[in-house]
Structure 1
């Protein structure tokens, strides 16, 4: 496997199109085999088309014909349109490590589209990593340890507490709807006396791409692990049981994941990532199984929107 992979850049000159949203829409309407191209290249950057926020829906309708809601998402973000969201709203000084969207859930989007509404003053690239290369980069003992999958545990409060509420997570305040969703997802759950919902689910650590058959790293164990999180979460873990944190993770059988394993997963993903730098009006389309993504630290008022589809 080559370690020189990077997303394919498509600009007006490369396709003989006008440098505008209309030029991009015209290309997308006539482009046969775009799905195949995405699988082949894993990620596509549409650069130089100067897509304005008011023109975004027309482009998204062609790239993401069936936009999905961010239900059961664990990161803080704001819904800004028809199943369009802000990218994860973590403080700008933090790196967001590599991950495949909703890889901890029972269903996940097959593709993601990112749009740069406002570029950061400095930094703020979206790093992307070949998920098969990420898997290959891990030590054999780490890969073997993860072979049976991982168990994710969430504690979702009832409107006041640490992390996200269950109402925000599932975009409903109806408990029956939440239970139906979780039952269909194969999760177990418990409503606690303080209104908190505890959810537990076992998921695989790797997955085979349905078209290419490639085995890829596909879990978010490092992002759920105390060892790989910030100092505030580590401090919380000193004063409360790990299973009571907003989220935690173990191997599928409940055995703790060694902290150095989680850190290796996090660091190898970032080490093998390629940065996509942003110019306002640019878009990035990724195959969510073949490519993990994250965020570099930044200064200024960065605003990246994201949408997803099956």
Structure 2
């Protein structure tokens, strides 16, 4: 695995860059930084710590980290929009782990980078684990890598406002069917409007991808998050008793439609987490990641936790 063997995110503090330990010290540093993209590509993830960024300066910091902030259109994770293409991190019950993933790797287009901001750190736990995609790919059994070589097929069932999971209005941030169809027309997806007003979307996507600059191949799909087995045995059994797999809010198969064995899903989930490095939050921290080279997740936590996220192409 070479240089990836001992990879950890690069931490940058005021003393490291000769800046004031204030939000404006970070802003000044970022304004003077000549090649943020090159730095991020080399290091894969950057933690800006010790600058005490507050919500009042967050937009100024994110404007420098994210050249073109994107809306979370076609996102499958429950979030709340709290600002200019600024969202809460996944609103998933705090007692559960969120497995490793690259944001929107199931989509036709995905953000190139993500920035996270810790406003309130959890009482205990709540780290954001990050994993080098090269390590994750190498950690999987050859049998799994070979089976996924043809890609994966994702299926979404989005209700019309009342139902299990997200509505199509929430997912696409619009009430217009025409806007949804115009968006999907450019994604190589197939879709159909159902009699109950819901929307079914199917997408065939690769299981790995190569970084556009380095050419590095990484594990790059969300099969374990879209598969019932990724939720644990009890939850999977409950879902199976309620409805067929193809009617779940989201599901996944291999490219040819073959089911993915539960043990493969568990291997993908567990080895990604095993290879991950925790970013333990302190209030005011900012984390920037290359969304192709690095996957991310969330550890369980207690108490209040508020981490915001934005993304850019």
State the TM-score, normalized to the length of structure 2.
Answer: 0.98
User: Is 1:268 paired with 2:271?
Assistant: yes
Residues in 2 aligned to 1:218 and 1:232: alpha-carbon distance in whole angstroms: 25
Aligned to 1:251: 254
The gaps in structure 2 that reach 5 residues or longer are: none
For residue 145 of structure 1, the aligned residue among 144, 147, 152 is 147
Residues in 2 aligned to 1:105 and 1:73: alpha-carbon distance in whole angstroms: 8
For residue 187 of structure 1, the aligned residue among 189, 196, 204 is 189
Are the counterparts in 1 of residues 228 and 239 from structure 2 also a CA contact under 8 Å? no
Aligned to 2:116: 114
Residues in 1 aligned to 2:171 and 2:237: alpha-carbon distance in whole angstroms: 23
Are the counterparts in 2 of residues 237 and 245 from structure 1 also a CA contact under 8 Å? no
Are the counterparts in 1 of residues 99 and 297 from structure 2 also a CA contact under 8 Å? yes
* Aligned pairs for 1:223-238 within 5 A: 223-230=225-232, 231-238=234-241
For residue 86 of structure 2, the aligned residue among 57, 77, 84 is 84
Are the counterparts in 1 of residues 228 and 235 from structure 2 also a CA contact under 8 Å? no
Residues in 1 aligned to 2:249 and 2:43: alpha-carbon distance in whole angstroms: 36
Report the CA distance between 1:234 and its aligned residue: 3.2
Residues in 2 aligned to 1:166 and 1:215: alpha-carbon distance in whole angstroms: 32
Are the counterparts in 1 of residues 133 and 218 from structure 2 also a CA contact under 8 Å? yes
SS at match of 2:182: helix
Residues in 2 aligned to 1:185 and 1:234: alpha-carbon distance in whole angstroms: 33
For residue 51 of structure 1, the aligned residue among 50, 53, 63 is 53
User: Is 1:176 paired with 2:153?
Assistant: no
* Aligned pairs for 1:91-110 within 5 A: 91-110=93-112
Residues in 2 aligned to 1:302 and 1:220: alpha-carbon distance in whole angstroms: 25
SS at match of 1:3: helix
The gaps in structure 1 that reach 5 residues or longer are: none
User: Is 1:62 paired with 2:64?
Assistant: yes
Residues in 1 aligned to 2:292 and 2:230: alpha-carbon distance in whole angstroms: 22
Residues in 2 aligned to 1:70 and 1:169: alpha-carbon distance in whole angstroms: 8
Residues in 2 aligned to 1:104 and 1:234: alpha-carbon distance in whole angstroms: 24
Residues in 2 aligned to 1:238 and 1:136: alpha-carbon distance in whole angstroms: 35
Report the CA distance between 1:233 and its aligned residue: 4.5
For residue 291 of structure 2, the aligned residue among 285, 288, 303 is 288
Residues in 1 aligned to 2:213 and 2:93: alpha-carbon distance in whole angstroms: 37
Report the CA distance between 1:51 and its aligned residue: 0.4
Aligned to 1:241: 244
Residues in 2 aligned to 1:289 and 1:121: alpha-carbon distance in whole angstroms: 30
Residues in 2 aligned to 1:239 and 1:62: alpha-carbon distance in whole angstroms: 47
Report the CA distance between 1:239 and its aligned residue: 3.3
For residue 221 of structure 1, the aligned residue among 220, 223, 233 is 223
State the TM-score, normalized to the length of structure 1.
Answer: 0.99
Residues in 1 aligned to 2:294 and 2:261: alpha-carbon distance in whole angstroms: 25
Residues in 1 aligned to 2:237 and 2:287: alpha-carbon distance in whole angstroms: 34
Residues in 2 aligned to 1:4 and 1:270: alpha-carbon distance in whole angstroms: 15
Structural RMSD (CA): 0.8
Report the CA distance between 1:153 and its aligned residue: 0.3
Residues in 1 aligned to 2:236 and 2:70: alpha-carbon distance in whole angstroms: 30
Aligned to 2:31: 29
Residues in 1 aligned to 2:235 and 2:141: alpha-carbon distance in whole angstroms: 29
Residues in 2 aligned to 1:228 and 1:30: alpha-carbon distance in whole angstroms: 44
Structure 1 residues 204-258: Cα deviation after superposition (integer angstroms, max 9, x where no partner): 0000100000000000000001111143343121231100000000001101011
Report the CA distance between 1:196 and its aligned residue: 1.2
User: Is 1:306 paired with 2:309?
Assistant: yes
Residues in 2 aligned to 1:39 and 1:65: alpha-carbon distance in whole angstroms: 15
